[in-house]
Structure 1
Amino acid sequence: MPEKTFAPYAFDGGLTPETLRSFMVWCARQQSSDIHLQGDNHFVIGRHGRLVRASPFAVADDTLAKLMDDVFTPELRPMVRGGVSVDRALQLDGNADGRYGLERGERIRFRVNLLQGTAGRQDSTIGWTLRVIPSVIPPLEEMELPAELMEHILPAKGLALWGGITGSGKSTALASTYRYCMDHYPDRKVTTKEDPIEFILGRPGDILPALQSQIGKDIPDFATGIRADLRRAPSVIGVGEMRDRETIDAGIRAGQLGHLCLSTTHIDSPGEVFARLINEFAHESREAMAWALLGVLQYVVVQTLLRTTDGKRTAVREYIIIDDHLREKLGEMPWSQWGKHVNSLIRLEKRRIVDQAWLLYQQGRIDAAELAVVMSPRQRRELEAESIA
């Protein structure tokens, strides 16, 4: 439901490149997660998982196109009009005059996607989606991670993965982990490969600020960046996503050589990680890659965000720690059965996302509609029966 108390941005002085940038800063101040701009439509923001109108007027498509040239570069619009989906990082910096409503030295960053399509009566418009990147990286200690996971969050080496759908907080969790490493283990060198760079990890006083490399700007792809890092004595290698065979292979190789590789992947449960990564390889090499993965994998976390009844959101997670005992147990069965075994352990221990969502529902913290986002009718019947028993 739209928030009845939410008032759109006034745009005093009209819509100009300057007021648009000020609007972006205002959106960040409003705890928005996303900004959605499309021709012949009001500006819309995502706030605590809900979409609300954020401008008092609709914006003509040609006006939005001209604004795009100023906010980015004129060369970008022909690319998108030609059918290319463009990802960019956008940073706004304040100065002594309080430009955009930012104080001197203050900055706000956005992850931007630009894509052409049909929207309503507009046959061809460029849609902007801007993900607001918080200026302050949330402290890992305040993310309410389970004690067991917190204890294993920075193993000496190997591969550790965060999973979940887009917008589930994976990038934030990784940024918090990198910052935690730099604060508590300053002798561990941190590097990242991102597409695009989101959080700026370095702070004044760091012995060695994290070197963050962007795909398409600093390095051609994730795999190349990982391989280059192997010659640069890193302790922790952050990788935006395990998205293809070359990146997965390089990540496993880094773990085998004594580095810690942290990354993300699109999975719905920890057990899915094996099929998701191994099936990227040719059939004849999957067995070998499965054993290589098992040898380096340290933990897998899957996270999602649920809208709460107080108008905010909360993170729920399920995870598995791959310790020596579990590694030995999985080694006794074909790799095709590893995922089923891992998920069965999480289910038996009642640590699934659906178990946590059910508890939140019983406590009145989420409603039935939000519960249905993560739980099937069959799962709900099972949990209701268990509650009665």
Structure 2
Amino acid sequence: MGTVLIDKLLQAVVNFKASDLHLTVGQQPTLRLHGHMKQLNTKVLEPADTVGLMKSITPERCQQELQEVGGTDFGFAFGDQARFRVAVFKQRGNVGLVLRRIPNEFLTFEQLGLPTVITDLIQRPRGLILVTGPTGSGKTTSLASMINWLNNNLDRHIITIEDPIEYYHKHNKSLVNQREIGVDVPDFPEAIRRALRMDPDIILVGEMRDLATIQAAITAAETGHIVFGTLHTNSAEGTVNRIIDVFPKEQQDQIRTQLSVAIIGILAQTLLPRKPKGLIAAYEMLVVTPAVANLIRENKTYRIDSMIQTGRKYGMILMDDSLYNLWRQGLVDEHEIIFKARKPNELRQRIENAKKGIFEEEPEEQDQEDVNSKRR
């Protein structure tokens, strides 16, 4: 019964183009569709159902992990229609599952609405590019799109380190080796160290979640590789602070210096319900100019926002400006914009003014060095 059911459920996810499928005891199978939860018209799941569904798709080693630590993650293909990233967990003593659909096709930068400067950044010979945002904000999709662009346009050796592998990349102009944590290599720091001996040009680090991984990623970026990484932070400024805060106090000055040299860009993103249906992303983009690198080195990250504001000619944009633009274009409801804003009161005021026909002056395009010298 489990297998028949799982195929039907997965087919429903694909047909509806839902982002997730939730399976939990005492509830009908539920889809997340355009950001909203929608119950499927089937029976309410009982404990035996979720166990059967789990066993029909979960590899043996993951079932073992579920027993030992109460949860496990893995990826699997649903024929050639889609891939799924699966989280299996226990709740109230029962088994629950959440399956995230990973589309088979890659989206272009234009389709994703990515800042145009991304194309330049990813072609640099070295440096750290971070894609950040909360869970489910589309980081994986943006990164997959970048790797796909590189694979289609440049001849490089690309190594991805993922937990689990989500998008599968075929070798095209580039050679792409994808390593899965727990299957191909034990952990992220070890995988990055090994990768450096494999003649890479580009290394994708699926998650920079601890000191050892962050340290290894920064080192790899300094030594002549492009390194992509992700963090669960909401802004460019927050990302820089988060990385530095991971290190013990006595190492922080050294890390600031290393980071200021290694980092070349931060893309923070969030997903919103698009009108009338679908999802759309808002972005914050920090391009690390010499002036920004100075701020990082001198522990003046609180000035990063104003740098982004005056750095439009470098391709930078603040999250709240991106949200405001989506509202101006009529793509997203006002309450959704305010909900995701970093400074909701200021953005609410700006929207009220715009409704009355009062628009703010665009910030002056000053040279960033001038801006700095005036503030000193």
Question: TM-score normalised by the shorter chain: which range applies?
Answer: 0.7 to 0.9
Structure 2 residue aligned with 1:42: 28
Tell me by how many angstroms 1:57 deviates.
1.9
| 1:193/1:240 contact within 8 Å kept | yes
CA distance in structure 2 between the aligned counterparts of 1:243 and 1:229, rounded to whole angstroms: 18
Tell me by how many angstroms 1:82 deviates.
4.6
* Consecutive unaligned residues in structure 1, runs of 5 or more: 1-14, 94-105, 119-123
Return the letter of the residue paired with 1:383.
R
Report Cα offsets for 1:164-216 as digits up to 9, x if no partner. Answer: 01111111111111111111102x1101000000000115xx25531100111
CA distance in structure 1 between the aligned counterparts of 2:98 and 2:53, rounded to whole angstroms: 14
| 1:25/1:108 contact within 8 Å kept | no
Q: Are 1:18 and 2:4 an aligned pair?
A: yes
CA 1:252–1:62: 2 relative to 1, 3 Å: same
Structure 2 residue aligned with 1:324: 290
CA distance in structure 2 between the aligned counterparts of 1:192 and 1:319, rounded to whole angstroms: 23
| 1:159/1:255 contact within 8 Å kept | yes
CA distance in structure 2 between the aligned counterparts of 1:373 and 1:312, rounded to whole angstroms: 18
CA distance in structure 1 between the aligned counterparts of 2:18 and 2:3, rounded to whole angstroms: 20
Residue from 283, 298, 310 that aligns with 1:334: 298
Tell me by how many angstroms 1:231 deviates.
0.9
Tell me by how many angstroms 1:72 deviates.
1.9
CA distance in structure 1 between the aligned counterparts of 2:277 and 2:221, rounded to whole angstroms: 41
Return the letter of the residue paired with 1:58.
V
Structure with a larger share of its residues in helix: 2
Q: Are 1:346 and 2:270 an aligned pair?
A: no
What is the root-mean-square deviation of aligned Cα atoms in Å? 2.1
Structure 2 residue aligned with 1:110: 84
Structure 2 residue aligned with 1:383: 350
- Write out aligned runs for 1:368-379 (5 A): 368-375=334-341, 377-379=344-346
Return the letter of the residue paired with 1:61.
P
CA 1:133–1:384: 2 relative to 1, 3 Å: closer
* Consecutive unaligned residues in structure 2, runs of 5 or more: 360-376
| 1:69/1:76 contact within 8 Å kept | no
Tell me by how many angstroms 1:70 deviates.
2.4
| 2:292/2:307 contact within 8 Å kept | no
Secondary structure of the residue that 1:90 maps to in structure 2? strand
Return the letter of the residue paired with 2:132.
G
CA distance in structure 2 between the aligned counterparts of 1:75 and 1:225, rounded to whole angstroms: 20
Secondary structure of the residue that 1:58 maps to in structure 2? coil
Secondary structure of the residue that 1:361 maps to in structure 2? helix
What fraction of aligned residue pairs are identical, expressed as a percent? 27
CA distance in structure 2 between the aligned counterparts of 1:247 and 1:363, rounded to whole angstroms: 40
CA distance in structure 2 between the aligned counterparts of 1:246 and 1:143, rounded to whole angstroms: 32
- TM-score scaled to structure 2, two decimals? 0.87
Residue from 35, 47, 54 that aligns with 1:61: 47
CA distance in structure 1 between the aligned counterparts of 2:109 and 2:38, rounded to whole angstroms: 30
Secondary structure of the residue that 2:119 maps to in structure 1? helix
| 1:81/1:116 contact within 8 Å kept | no
CA 1:115–1:184: 2 relative to 1, 3 Å: same
Paired residue total: 351
Tell me by how many angstroms 1:154 deviates.
2.6
CA distance in structure 1 between the aligned counterparts of 2:57 and 2:348, rounded to whole angstroms: 51
CA distance in structure 2 between the aligned counterparts of 1:154 and 1:147, rounded to whole angstroms: 13
Structure 2 residue aligned with 1:7: none
Secondary structure of the residue that 2:330 maps to in structure 1? coil
Secondary structure of the residue that 1:147 maps to in structure 2? coil
Report Cα offsets for 1:299-352 as digits up to 9, x if no partner. Answer: 00001111022111111101111123432x426x622x12x1112223456832
Secondary structure of the residue that 1:165 maps to in structure 2? coil
Structure 1 residue aligned with 2:121: 152
| 263-272 vs 366-375, greater mean Cα deviation | 366-375
CA distance in structure 1 between the aligned counterparts of 2:132 and 2:56, rounded to whole angstroms: 36
- TM-score scaled to structure 1, two decimals? 0.84
CA 1:143–1:153: 2 relative to 1, 3 Å: farther
Structure 1 residue aligned with 2:13: 27
CA 1:126–1:347: 2 relative to 1, 3 Å: farther
Tell me by how many angstroms 1:116 deviates.
0.9
Tell me by how many angstroms 1:73 deviates.
4.5
CA distance in structure 1 between the aligned counterparts of 2:173 and 2:235, rounded to whole angstroms: 37
Tell me by how many angstroms 1:78 deviates.
6.0
Q: Are 1:357 and 2:331 an aligned pair?
A: no
| 1:158/1:298 contact within 8 Å kept | yes
| 2:266/2:285 contact within 8 Å kept | yes
| 262-271 vs 207-216, greater mean Cα deviation | 207-216
Structure 2 residue aligned with 1:250: 216
Report Cα offsets for 1:224-272 as digits up to 9, x if no partner. Answer: 1111111111000000011111111111111111011111111111111
Return the letter of the residue paired with 2:101.
V
